[in-house]
């Protein structure tokens, strides 16, 4: 039986399988097929998944923040080049109808020792041009389901990569808002902040759990990895639903290195900075009044 694969509908960053380009595919059974890149990156990522998924020293509650790994498989590539090896992973948005998603690359640098001069220059240029250096993280892409319009709103990639500090802060507010997504002149209302970022099952609680692990783990150094945040606003707006089904996943492990007994300060520092921004949105949302959405002036 031929496996029916399709281009992921909800991918917001990375290599996208369109216009004859090589990229990931998904099936209807909740699996995500990521092609192994031709150089060492694909092999390195597969080795990481194999190591991590079988590592008994990683606590069970931490494993849930990583996509489940199902090995590798030869499948027809999205660029029409025939069968290529793909990692078979959990499709983290399977089961969501209209998920809002944000991809955030963590760390104040995306390069690491012993990389090629070409790769170093590419990384340092992008790190300095975005908020990677200044904040320890950068928003790589996001899309939000606009319940009023019954459609997704997604800013252009060049706009997202052009964000400075205020832009990153505004994106995190828009991500949990129900109004004015495409309107840059109106302040986001952060209507979903407490449901998505707050609470015992919210984004902040999950990030703090990850932080506690990164404060002690010395197994891996997660270079150029991303945090994926997912939720669904129908779960908040429709009666009978429990919560926003907010979840955090770590993705992109092509540049993970052995920790050699040393704490991953680059990732931990970026994660702490990101947590502070999430806390700020929550606090301003909790303190807002009817005339001052999110407790801020627009753009500040």
CA distance 46 to 208: 27
Q: Looking at the predicted structure, is the pLDDT value of residue 295 above 60?
A: no
CB 234 within 8 A of CB 241: yes
Q: What are φ and ψ of residue 152, in 5° steps? A: -90, 145
pLDDT at 287: 66
Q: Which domains does the chain have, with CATH numbers?
A: 25-90 (no CATH), 99-294 (3.30.470.160)
| Distances 70 to 25, 45, 91, 246 between C-alpha atoms, Å | 15, 13, 11, 24
pLDDT at 242: 59
pLDDT in tens, 51-86: 999 999 999 999 999 999 999 999 888 877 788 899
CA distance 265 to 275: 15
Q: The pTM is what? A: 0.87
pLDDT in tens, 85-109: 999 999 999 988 899 999 999 999 9
Question: Which carries the bigger pLDDT value, residue 7 or residue 270?
Answer: 270
pLDDT in tens, 186-237: 788 999 999 999 999 999 999 999 999 999 999 999 999 999 999 997 766 6
């Amino acid at each position: 039986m031929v496996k029916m694969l399709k281009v992921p509908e909800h991918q917001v960053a990375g290599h996208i399988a369109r216009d004859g380009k090589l990229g990931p595919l998904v099936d209807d059974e909740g699996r995500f097929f990521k092609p192994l890149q031709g150089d060492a990156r694909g092999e390195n990522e597969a080795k990481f998944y194999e190591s991590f998924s079988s590592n008994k020293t990683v606590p069970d509650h931490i494993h849930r923040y990583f996509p489940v790994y199902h090995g590798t498989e030869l499948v027809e590539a999205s660029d029409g080049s025939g069968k290529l090896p793909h990692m078979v992973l959990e499709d983290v948005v399977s089961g969501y109808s209209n998920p809002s998603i944000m991809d955030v690359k963590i760390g104040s640098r995306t390069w690491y020792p012993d990389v090629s001069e070409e790769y170093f220059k590419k990384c340092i240029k992008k790190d300095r041009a975005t908020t990677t250096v200044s904040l320890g993280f950068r928003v790589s892409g996001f899309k939000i389901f606009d319940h009023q319009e019954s459609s997704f709103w997604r800013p252009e990639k060049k706009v997202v990569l052009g964000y400075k500090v205020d832009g990153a802060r505004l994106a995190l507010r828009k991500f949990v808002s129900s109004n004015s997504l495409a309107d840059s002149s109106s302040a986001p209302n952060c209507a979903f902040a407490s449901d998505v970022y707050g609470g015992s099952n919210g984004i902040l609680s999950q990030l703090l759990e990850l932080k506690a692990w990164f404060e002690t783990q010395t197994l891996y150094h997660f270079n150029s990895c991303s945090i994926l945040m997912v939720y669904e606003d129908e779960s908040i707006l429709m009666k009978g639903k429990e919560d926003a089904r907010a979840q955090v996943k770590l993705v992109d492990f092509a540049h993970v290195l052995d920790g050699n007994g040393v704490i991953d300060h680059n990732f931990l520092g970026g994660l702490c900075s990101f947590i502070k921004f999430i806390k700020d949105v929550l606090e301003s949302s909790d303190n807002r009044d009817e005339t001052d959405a999110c407790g801020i002036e627009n753009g500040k």
